[in-house]
A and B are shown apart, each in its own frame.
Chain A
Amino acid sequence: MGISRDKWHKRRKTGGRMAQMRKKRKFELGRPPSNTKLGTKRIHTVRTRGGNKKYRALRLDIGNFAWGSEAVTRRTRMIDVVYNASNNELVRTKTLVKSCIVQIDATPFRQWYEAHYAVGLGRKKGVKLSEAEESILNKKRSKKTQKKYTERQKTGQVEKALEEEFSTGRVLAKICSRPGQCGRCDGYILEGKELDFYLRKLKTKKGK
């Protein structure tokens, strides 16, 4: 094996070199990075120490994303890698890693929101709704169920920046899992201060 994670090749705190005590051992091994890209799923499994498995995702396109403030999680397609704090090269090559910012398909979240609150989300004003959407948003309801929905709508306001994202159909999210270790690309939708921070970063990058 070429990559090893040993300590004895490094210098001491005093600066002195350490004499080689032993050859490389298997428990000190390291493996090459996975560099998972955006694409149709391709996952290899790796046999690890103790006979356990790691799922090395080489290509992924779908992930499980959570909408924190509403406490909903949906499985959506990832569309694009947009920002990476460590390395711009990883954005250019569309590499999925933990803590990179991606654009995800917003439709499952919008569908849940409209079914839960009976209020449109990110819809342009004045556009006529199709029949299926009409039936969800403006369904004829009994007084009791209508009361339930009006009660819910009291806490149902979504912040402005997020609503704008929903109107374009693409929402920014941050990957929280490690695709090269667990083979999955899960994360959460950016909101609040975090969303402002990353939007600002994206704007300065585009402006440059």
Chain B
Amino acid sequence: MAEQTVRYFHRQPTVFLNKKKLLSGKGKKNLRYVRSVGLGFKTPREAIEGTYIDKKCPFTGNVSIRGRILSGVVLKMKMQRTIVIRRDYLHYIRKYNRFEKRHKNMSVHLSPCFRDKTEVGDIVTVGECRPLSKTVRYNVIKVTKGSGQKKGFVKF
């Protein structure tokens, strides 16, 4: 079921599927490469037990999380394996001694292990990784449920 969507044999490149013991039919469970992201983030069960192949997933793929860790609110989930999050912040104007609200949208990669768990409005923790595409440099490493319908400005 993992390789059905593409025209080549979709596999994790670090897993050798053809060891003799497996070929003769005696093999046990599915070989899968899973790693921990570090910094105290738990790798989700879906990543360990799932069968998806995603080379940009921080838990089962070839990206390392290093550098900044940010958070944001999920805005849109229309892209394949990547979402748009919104980060709000306050900018200080010195002349008036007051703040103004600003926001930035960011495209971040969403691993298939989080796909069913996130909805628009959830708060998401993202970690910096190497550039994954033209605009994506961050990867979702944790999802916490949003507070429902409360719209408005949330500072992080």
Question: Which residues of A are interface residues toward B (Cβ below 8 A)?
Answer: 10, 13, 68-70, 85-86, 99, 155, 157, 159, 191-194, 197-198, 201
Contact = CB atoms under 8 A, between A and B. Distances in A.
Given A68-B16, A85-B7, A99-B8, A192 B22 contact: yes
B31 to A, nearest CB: 11
Interface of A: prevailing SS: loop
Given A68-B16, A192-B17, A159 B7 contact: no
B7 A201 contact: yes
Contacts of B11: 194
Given A13-B135, A159-B23, A192-B23, A197 B16 contact: no
Contact of B17 (A155, A159, A193): A193
A10 B134 CA distance: 10
A69 B17 CA distance: 9
Given A69-B23, A86-B7, A198-B9, 13 more contacts: A13-B107, A68-B18, A69-B18, A70-B20, A85-B7, A157-B24, A191-B23, A192-B18, A192-B23, A194-B9, A194-B17, A194-B18, A201-B7
A159 B20 CA distance: 9
Contact of B9 (A13, A68, A157, A197): A197
A197 B4 CA distance: 9
A68 B11 CA distance: 16
B37 to A, nearest CB: 26
A82 B81 CA distance: 32
Contacts, number: 36
A69 B9 contact: no
B6 interface: yes
Contacts of A155: 20
Interface of B: 3, 6-9, 11, 16-20, 22-24, 107, 134-135
Contacts of A192: 17-18, 22-23
A112 B107 CA distance: 53
Given A10-B134, A13-B134, A13-B135, A193 B9 contact: yes
A58 to B, nearest CB: 25
A191 B18 contact: yes
A188 to B, nearest CB: 9
Most buried by A among B7, B8, B16, B135: B8
Contacts of A159: 23-24
A155 B20 CA distance: 8
Nearest to A159: B23
Contacts of A191: 18, 23
A192 B20 CA distance: 10
B19 to A, nearest CB: 6
A85 B8 contact: yes
A141 B79 CA distance: 66
B19 A69 contact: yes
Most buried by B among A70, A86, A191, A198: A191
21 contacts: A68-B16, A68-B18, A69-B18, A69-B19, A69-B20, A70-B20, A85-B6, A85-B7, A85-B8, A86-B7, A99-B8, A155-B20, A159-B23, A159-B24, A191-B18, A192-B17, A193-B9, A193-B17, A194-B18, A197-B3, A198-B9
